[in-house]
Structure 1
């Protein structure tokens, strides 16, 4: 089981505070599971004697399964930010599916769970309690991840070639910073706009426009957290917005704060 960097990813809001409150470890999938899963992750925290901490992030366009005591569920892509309240001491294990990678398990449009969640038993037909105990009581991270992967390995659906197609498109949009609107994604991928929108609805759960917006806001939040932003107009232009009022509106609609309010909280 290969462990990757522990650095908090883009999208985690106020990461300098978060690094003092919790740790994140990520592990790469192995074998056939890697066709569907982007990585596994484990968050640990010890806040005994401290105030609870709401870990908040601008969600990536990925479905996640989170294994935690008495509440193992599969979470669709959040419409705005997503948050997990960290109390006392504990840990959770997550499966981050590739964009499109959860559709073969669900076998219906992933948009049907966007902004919501799906019960573990509802999807897999087994009670979550024994699975949670078996995973969370393992003596180390690697064995917890291995137990989750073994469970998935035993229930892998048939490969769907659209998983690779959609995952590749999402990564291309992420990597190419000139993609600032859907028409740019159409140019980059060569796919018909309507076809792309239908694919994203079925396999990703959110529209191409939403995916592009999330990457831009990830960049914005990261720059604000680093203290690199001096002028909102300059930042909005760099991110591909026609005017900074549109950028501020997008930021507030997702984060719940204006960029300036977010900077002040930093």
Structure 2
């Protein structure tokens, strides 16, 4: 769960016009100064549904640690596509959202090994055993600090590159990005695999598609073929395919809902 609260499925009226806010509460505490090099933020989601609700979660290039119902934490690698989770009854989830590259000092191995996977935190050698029942910011921070993470200059470099991609909508190609940051394409690809878990092309496409959804949500008039070209796509068909893979529906349907 990243950025704005994740998108619910289009078939449910509770997904329309921000109606999800009547059933969910979100909070995003920030990390301490000690963990800020690694953790982007914490997130807490609470919900109350009389009927099961299918929650669409759109991926970003962040690894998450997730605590559910007082159980042991799980590591969620970067997902290459959207995920749907069912929320029912009353529930609460506490999560840690790592910066791009921020989980590498805990994992102590290539983050690409986690992509599209969920595994117990107990399987990560760099993390101490989780023995607490409460999952709150203070207890989770003490646990993470006990792992003794060390800042990684390469991870910091990669995090800065991801931030640049997110901030600059004119970045649409990997070779352009590599030239801008002074690295070869292959080196950039290796750094992203090692520290982010997905390649720079995926990251660029993800943030350019975010540009598309922002325009839809503002109600901008959109010529789809023109938008696809602005975002670096060869044609509208490739844009629509990538959009559906990430958001779970074609861009035209998404636009109608907003």
Q: TM-score range by the shorter chain?
A: 0.7 to 0.9
Q: Which residue of 1 aligns with 2:94?
A: 93
CA contact (8 A) 1:55 1:83 kept: yes
Deviations 1:57-78 (A, max 9, x none): 3211010001112362010000
Q: Which residue of 1 aligns with 2:82?
A: 81
Q: 1:102 to 1:59 in 2, by over 3 A?
A: same
Q: Give the count of matched residue pairs.
A: 246
Alignment of 1:181-200 (within 5 A): 181-200=173-192
1:134 aligns with 2:128: no
Higher helix share: 1
User: For 2:22 and 2:211, how far apart are their aligned partners in 1?
Assistant: 22
CA contact (8 A) 1:21 1:53 kept: no
User: For 1:32 and 1:185, how far apart are their aligned partners in 2?
Assistant: 30
Give the 4+ runs in structure 1 shifted more than 4 A: none
CA contact (8 A) 2:128 2:146 kept: no
Q: Which residue of 2 aligns with 1:55?
A: 55
Q: Which residue of 1 aligns with 2:34?
A: 32
Structure 2 residue matching 1:52: 3-state secondary structure:
strand
User: For 1:13 and 1:223, how far apart are their aligned partners in 2?
Assistant: 16
User: For 2:232 and 2:202, how far apart are their aligned partners in 1?
Assistant: 14
Q: Which residue of 1 aligns with 2:67?
A: 67
CA contact (8 A) 2:100 2:195 kept: yes
CA contact (8 A) 2:169 2:211 kept: no
Alignment of 1:249-260 (within 5 A): 249-260=241-252
Deviations 1:197-220 (A, max 9, x none): 000001000000000011112222
Structure 2 residue matching 1:89: 3-state secondary structure:
strand
Q: Structure 1: 5+ residue runs without aligned partners?
A: 1-7, 136-143
CA RMSD between the two structures: 2.1
User: For 2:47 and 2:5, how far apart are their aligned partners in 1?
Assistant: 19
User: For 2:225 and 2:88, how far apart are their aligned partners in 1?
Assistant: 39
User: For 1:232 and 1:17, how far apart are their aligned partners in 2?
Assistant: 27
1:153 aligns with 2:145: yes
User: For 1:186 and 1:79, how far apart are their aligned partners in 2?
Assistant: 22
Alignment of 1:92-241 (within 5 A): 92-123=93-124, 124=127, 126=129, 128=130, 130-131=131-132, 133-135=133-135, 144-241=136-233
User: For 1:10 and 1:90, how far apart are their aligned partners in 2?
Assistant: 20
User: For 1:190 and 1:157, how far apart are their aligned partners in 2?
Assistant: 27
Q: Which residue of 1 aligns with 2:12?
A: none
Q: Structure 2: 5+ residue runs without aligned partners?
A: 9-14
User: For 1:172 and 1:184, how far apart are their aligned partners in 2?
Assistant: 12
| Alpha-carbon shift at residue 260 of structure 1 (Å) | 1.7
